């Protein structure tokens, strides 16, 4: 499992499955607090919002890249949780990348985010304690697809954004 498995493996190994997911959602919610604070600080200036999201995107990519190369000591018996976390991670990355307006063409944005996921899997081939999984890439793709639906829903809801 990759970065997404780290949280699931840790939380599920230290508690029951139900409490593990509860802790996971607490953690991901807490990770969004800095983003919300930055948006509140710059809420009146669209350009500053983009800068805030670019900072969040950069931190997220560095964190995901670093964690995806780490050795995982605990193996989860629930492989589904790893794929769900891949899905959620790439849903998050797609949404933040779009909000940062770093790339204006949406399709190109989706291709780059997917290429990032594939690159992580390729790098893991060369790390002795990691492995390449096509299902991880598929979960990444589904997260990007869900992100594109979320983005289109947001654009319909707030056409001026």
pLDDT in tens, the chain (161 residues): 455 566 666 655 655 555 555 555 556 655 665 565 556 555 555 666 777 788 888 888 888 887 777 766 545 444 556 788 788 889 989 988 998 888 889 899 999 999 999 999 999 898 887 888 899 999 999 999 999 998 888 888 777 66
52 to 21, 36, 65, 100, 148: CA distances (angstroms): 29, 10, 20, 7, 21
Burial bucket for residue 57 (CB in 10 Å: 0-12, 13-18, 19+): buried
Burial bucket for residue 94 (CB in 10 Å: 0-12, 13-18, 19+): buried
Instruction: State the distance between the two ends of the chain, measured CA to CA, in whole angstroms.
Output: 37
């Amino acid at each position: 499992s990759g970065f997404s498995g780290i949280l699931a493996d840790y939380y599920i190994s230290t508690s029951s499955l139900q409490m593990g997911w509860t802790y996971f959602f607490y953690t991901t919610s807490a990770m969004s607090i800095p983003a919300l604070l930055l948006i509140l600080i710059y809420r009146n200036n669209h350009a500053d919002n983009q800068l805030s999201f670019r900072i969040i995107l950069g931190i997220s990519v560095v964190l995901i890249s670093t964690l995806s190369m780490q050795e995982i000591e605990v193996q989860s018996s629930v492989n589904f949780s790893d794929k769900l976390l891949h899905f959620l991670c790439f849903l998050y990355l797609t949404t933040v990348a779009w909000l940062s307006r770093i790339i204006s063409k949406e399709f190109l944005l989706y291709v780059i985010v997917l290429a990032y996921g594939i690159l992580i899997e390729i790098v893991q081939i060369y790390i002795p304690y990691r492995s390449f999984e096509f299902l991880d890439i598929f979960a990444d793709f589904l997260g990007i697809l869900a992100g594109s639906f979320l983005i289109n829903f947001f654009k319909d809801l707030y056409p001026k954004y």
